[in-house]
Chains A and B, each alone.
Chain A
Amino acid sequence: MIVVQALVNGLVSGTLLAVPAIGFTAMFAVLRFPNFAVSGVATLGAFAGYLAYGAGLQMAGSLAAAFVAAGLAGLLFDKIAHLPLVKEGALPAAIASIATGLVLENVVRLGFGNEPRGYDRPIARDVFFGEIRVSPQQLETMGLALALMLAVFAALAFTRIGKAMRATADNPDLAALKGIRPERIATLASLIGMGLVGVGGMLLGLDSSIDPLTGTRILLSLFAAAVLGGLGSVPGAVLGAFLIGIAEELSVLVVGSQYRAAVGFVAILAVLTLRPRGLLGERAF
């Protein structure tokens, strides 16, 4: 029974992890470098949402605030720090993005200090289905995450911009020939990708607490999810996030919670050895 319960718990945390994982992998697909600034951006999003929620906005409005603040910050640093370096290769940009993450973490620390804060959200007892229990709040958070994911998929599949993004990710040269302006697509990718990462930071913070290290704590799981599904693949990121979420919870039963962070690493090594392009390959969508 406890295994089923762990599976359910993993599914919930996997859903929350999927949101920032989509953001990260979508940026990788278009911008072609792993953006390590996701740690700082997730923290920033969590705090922006915290401020908005504290100011009386509803959950949807607060998530929007997290999205906008994180998206704009991500875009700003992509423009001034990362993208000019991509010309020299993915690595200088990736390294600069580590510094960006550190910058944002410390900007939050400057403003809010180190004390953890919690969203002022009512905490309800779990609901039992037989012996399996789920938290109504987590269901709500999960619903929000799922809705957001659906919106992203719909946008990619049906809107002109979404199609243009996919085209650019698949083949930038061909897309440019067809009159898609790569600059605009890059801007959108930064904005939406980092926006999702910011929302993810807030979603993961909703049930726990947030502090300047919030984003850093989820960094490895996030990467593991993206690599597992195939870097650059949006459905892959979702699949990867579910798998990582479930594996992390199951690992609590098997090796103990203290080795949770190793789960992602082992998963990455296994996938890279057996199926180097990830479960769903690197094709974007």
Chain B
Amino acid sequence: MNKIRITRRTTMAGSVALLANPAIVRAQADPIKLATLTPLTGAGGPYGPVMAKAAASVVEEVNKAGGVLGRRIVLVSEDDQTNPEAAVRAARKLIDVDKVTAIMGTWASSVTTAVAPLCWESKTFLCTVSGADSITLLPHQGYLIRTQPNSRLQVTRVGEFILSLGAKKAFTMIPQTPFTQSTFDVLNQVLPKGGATHQSLIYDDKKTTYRTEVDQALRTSPDVILANGYTPDTVVLLKDLYRAGFKGKILGFAYSINQKLVDQIGQNEVVEGVYTFAPSSAEGGSAYEKVKVAVGSANPDPYTCQVYDHVNMVLMAIAVGKAASGEAIKDNIRKVTQGSGKSVDNAVDGLKAIAAGEKVDYSGASGPCDFDEKGDILDCKFRYEQIKGGKFTLVKIA
């Protein structure tokens, strides 16, 4: 019923305007609705708000430049509460009431797995940053892409990096997450091949001190420790490692060891020399610089970069498909992200090129953004940084 009303209004607006000026048709058409579904409360709370902000910045820029297909973009931001139950309700509302064509930025793997069936059943496109291997194996019929390298790929590279640091005895400290098991599996394979041993410990991410856990780890006299939690618990862990006088190398993921963590610890020698690791765009990629400005941070986390890419890719796919529908995005997203087109790093430039009939190849803030048929990224560079004097300095991108 609702559908009929909208159609009729659109038709009427169109036919009236057509008489006057074709340009007005486009201006008055219904806006294109997109959504972010990020964790604004709950365990993902430190990440979701910035992600929503990055997404909004892209939409604002594109609207300023005239929108897509002559239509304005409206971005609806819902909170998934880091909770699949709340996420499912929010997604239902986004799909059925707002009638969004794409949902972007789902963070927790459990949220993505819960929301994905609603999306493919309703032909709504889903872009996620969740890393659990199982996600792209869901029967999503092409309605899902993920910009986060799956955890196997990431951990394999982490393992190789640990070996390149000259590790003989590595130790992993990690809370219970969907990556925990695959992290152990991969490292137990990769590290022994390179001549290093690997031991690990699962900790409770709600504890206020990890002294005993640190003791347990140090008892094995490791030379490299992989601190593989999220920001709040990693803060505590790094402090306790420093207190215990750990002299070896520490490595962690950039989503947890970031500028916020450094600020919070507030004492540079605690984090001096810590290595961080993140999927990354090629060196000198300009999209990453744009994200820095958009969210006002010198060190935006990988999730923020990824959701920035989601919005850019989705908007260009809509432009190429000439329709604001999940199906159009599904059919065209790979046409704007890979291939031999003109290399672009933002939707505004990309949309201009598309309007001029050119092909585009988006290369984003989180990486080259090329996807295989399952929706996993094909290839990804990783950015290795090291904290020196409280600042993140680039070690290499490889």
Interface residues of A (CB under 8 A from B): 2, 5-6, 9-10, 12-13, 109, 113-118, 120-126, 133, 135, 204-205, 207-209, 211-213, 217-218, 248-249, 252-253, 256-261
Tell me which residues across on chain A come within 8 A of B213, comparing CB atoms.
252, 257
B72: min CB distance to chain A, Å? 29
- Contact of A123 (CB < 8 Å), options: B45, B207, B267: B267
Give me 6 A-to-B residue pairs in the complex whose CB atoms sit less than 8 angstroms apart, sorted by A's number: A10-B212, A114-B40, A123-B267, A211-B45, A257-B210, A257-B213
Task: Please tell me if the beta carbons of B235 and A116 are within 8 angstroms of each other in the complex.
Answer: yes
Tell me the nearest residue of chain A to B180, going by C-beta.
A258
Task: Please tell me if the beta carbons of A126 and B216 are within 8 angstroms of each other in the complex.
Answer: no
Near A by CB (< 8 A), chain B positions 234-287 give 235-236, 239, 242-245, 260, 264-267, 270
Tell me the nearest residue of chain A to B269, going by C-beta.
A123
Task: Please tell me if the beta carbons of B204 and A257 are within 8 angstroms of each other in the complex.
Answer: yes
B81: min CB distance to chain A, Å? 11
Task: Say whether B211 faces chain A, with CB atoms less than 8 Å apart.
Answer: yes
Task: Please tell me if the beta carbons of A257 and B203 are within 8 angstroms of each other in the complex.
Answer: yes
| A120, A208, A213, A261 pick with most chain B CB within 10 angstroms | A208
Q: How large is the interface on B (under 10, 10 to 19, 20 to 34, 35 or more residues)?
A: 35 or more
Task: Please tell me if the beta carbons of A204 and B207 are within 8 angstroms of each other in the complex.
Answer: no
Task: Please tell me if the beta carbons of A253 and B212 are within 8 angstroms of each other in the complex.
Answer: yes
Question: Cα distance A133–B218 when bound, in Å?
Answer: 13
Tell me the nearest residue of chain A to B231, going by C-beta.
A116
Near A by CB (< 8 A), chain B positions 200-229 give 201-204, 206-213, 215-216, 219
6 smallest A-B Cβ distances: which pairs?
Answer: A114-B45, A118-B264, A257-B203, A208-B236, A9-B211, A116-B232
Contacts beyond the supplied A12-B211, A114-B40: 7 A-B pairs with Cβ under 8 Å: A12-B209, A126-B244, A205-B208, A208-B208, A209-B235, A218-B208, A258-B203
Tell me which residues across on chain B come within 8 A of A209, comparing CB atoms.
232, 235-236, 264
Tell me which residues across on chain A come within 8 A of B46, comparing CB atoms.
114-116, 211
Question: Cα distance A126–B209 when bound, in Å?
Answer: 14
Tell me which residues across on chain B come within 8 A of A260, comparing CB atoms.
204, 206-207
Tell me which residues across on chain B come within 8 A of A116, comparing CB atoms.
46, 231-232, 235, 260, 264
Task: Say whether B41 faces chain A, with CB atoms less than 8 Å apart.
Answer: yes
A245: min CB distance to chain B, Å? 10
Tell me the nearest residue of chain A to B235, going by C-beta.
A209
Tell me the nearest residue of chain B to A217, going by C-beta.
B206
Tell me the nearest residue of chain A to B47, going by C-beta.
A114
Task: Please tell me if the beta carbons of A208 and B204 are within 8 angstroms of each other in the complex.
Answer: no
B303: min CB distance to chain A, Å? 14
Task: Please tell me if the beta carbons of B236 and A256 are within 8 angstroms of each other in the complex.
Answer: no
Tell me which residues across on chain B come within 8 A of A121, comparing CB atoms.
266
Tell me the nearest residue of chain B to A6, going by C-beta.
B212
- Contact of A5 (CB < 8 Å), options: B212, B235, B236, B245: B212
A220: min CB distance to chain B, Å? 9
Task: Please tell me if the beta carbons of B209 and A258 are within 8 angstroms of each other in the complex.
Answer: no
Task: Please tell me if the beta carbons of B216 and A253 are within 8 angstroms of each other in the complex.
Answer: yes
Tell me which residues across on chain A come within 8 A of B211, comparing CB atoms.
5, 9, 12, 135, 249
Task: Please tell me if the beta carbons of A135 and B45 are within 8 angstroms of each other in the complex.
Answer: no
Tell me the nearest residue of chain B to A116, going by C-beta.
B232
Task: Please tell me if the beta carbons of B208 and A207 are within 8 angstroms of each other in the complex.
Answer: yes
- Contact of B215 (CB < 8 Å), options: A5, A13, A211, A213: A5
Tell me the nearest residue of chain A to B265, going by C-beta.
A118
Question: Cα distance A208–B213 when bound, in Å?
Answer: 15
Interface residues of B (CB under 8 A from A): 40-41, 45-46, 48-49, 175-176, 201-204, 206-213, 215-216, 219, 231-232, 235-236, 239, 242-245, 260, 264-267, 270
Task: Please tell me if the beta carbons of A123 and B208 are within 8 angstroms of each other in the complex.
Answer: no
Contact A211/B232 with A9-B209, A113-B49, A260-B204 known, Cβ cut-off 8 Å: yes
Tell me which residues across on chain A come within 8 A of B207, comparing CB atoms.
217, 248, 257, 260
Task: Please tell me if the beta carbons of A118 and B243 are within 8 angstroms of each other in the complex.
Answer: no
- Contact of A256 (CB < 8 Å), options: B202, B210, B219, B267: B202
- Contact of B212 (CB < 8 Å), options: A113, A204, A252: A252
B211: min CB distance to chain A, Å? 4
Tell me which residues across on chain B come within 8 A of A12, comparing CB atoms.
209, 211
Question: Cα distance A226–B218 when bound, in Å?
Answer: 33
Task: Please tell me if the beta carbons of B202 and A2 are within 8 angstroms of each other in the complex.
Answer: no
Task: Please tell me if the beta carbons of A114 and B219 are within 8 angstroms of each other in the complex.
Answer: no
Contact A208/B245 with A116-B235, A117-B264, A118-B265 known, Cβ cut-off 8 Å: no
Task: Please tell me if the beta carbons of A125 and B243 are within 8 angstroms of each other in the complex.
Answer: yes
Question: Cα distance A12–B240 when bound, in Å?
Answer: 14
B127: min CB distance to chain A, Å? 22
Tell me the nearest residue of chain A to B242, going by C-beta.
A123
Task: Please tell me if the beta carbons of B232 and A256 are within 8 angstroms of each other in the complex.
Answer: no
| A122, A133, A249, A252 pick with most chain B CB within 10 angstroms | A252
A4: min CB distance to chain B, Å? 10
Question: Cα distance A260–B176 when bound, in Å?
Answer: 13
Contact A13/B245 with A114-B46, A253-B216 known, Cβ cut-off 8 Å: no
Tell me the nearest residue of chain A to B245, going by C-beta.
A125
Tell me the nearest residue of chain A to B206, going by C-beta.
A217
Tell me which residues across on chain B come within 8 A of A2, comparing CB atoms.
212, 215-216, 219
| A2, A116, A204 pick with most chain B CB within 10 angstroms | A116
Contact A258/B49 with A135-B243, A208-B236, A209-B235 known, Cβ cut-off 8 Å: no
B264: min CB distance to chain A, Å? 4
- Contact of A114 (CB < 8 Å), options: B41, B245, B266: B41
Question: Cα distance A88–B175 when bound, in Å?
Answer: 43
Tell me which residues across on chain B come within 8 A of A204, comparing CB atoms.
208
Task: Please tell me if the beta carbons of B245 and A126 are within 8 angstroms of each other in the complex.
Answer: yes
Task: Please tell me if the beta carbons of A120 and B266 are within 8 angstroms of each other in the complex.
Answer: yes
Task: Please tell me if the beta carbons of B264 and A249 are within 8 angstroms of each other in the complex.
Answer: no
Task: Please tell me if the beta carbons of B201 and A257 are within 8 angstroms of each other in the complex.
Answer: yes
Question: Cα distance A3–B232 when bound, in Å?
Answer: 27
- Contact of B202 (CB < 8 Å), options: A115, A248, A258: A258
Tell me which residues across on chain B come within 8 A of A13, comparing CB atoms.
208-209
